């Protein structure tokens, strides 16, 4: 994985992915935390597979898939 992709995923880790079912709200959530260029690269490179919001013990997780190489 390139440093650019690692940085992009690090930036995306601050996005509120709880709105993934609503494309408009998801796009808005991305643009609140990332630049327009980063949002474009993220949406062109990754597909959001699943997200679990904070549980009672503080766990939060997101799974993305690389659209090009299908890696998770």
Instruction: Give the integer Cα–Cα distance in Å for 26 and 19.
Output: 5
Q: What is the pTM of this model?
A: 0.76
* Domain ranges (residues) in the chain: 1-66
pLDDT tens, position by position, 23-65: 788 888 889 889 999 999 998 999 888 888 889 998 988 899 9
Q: What is the 3-state secondary structure (H, E, C) of the chain?
A: CCHHHHHHHHHHCCCCHHHCCCHHHHHHHHHHHCCHHHHHHHHHHEEEEEEECCCCCCCCEEEEEECCCCCC
Work out the number of other CB atoms within 10 angstroms of the CB of residue 2.
Answer: 7
Asked whether residue 72 carries a pLDDT value surpassing 70, the answer given is: no
């Amino acid at each position: 994985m390139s440093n650019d992709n690692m940085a992009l995923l690090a930036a995306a880790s601050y996005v509120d992915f709880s709105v993934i079912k609503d494309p408009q709200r998801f796009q808005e959530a991305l643009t609140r935390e990332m630049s327009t260029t980063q949002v474009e690269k993220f949406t062109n490179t990754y597909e959001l597979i699943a997200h679990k919001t904070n549980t009672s013990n503080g766990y939060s997780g997101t799974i993305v898939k690389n659209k090009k190489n299908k890696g998770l």
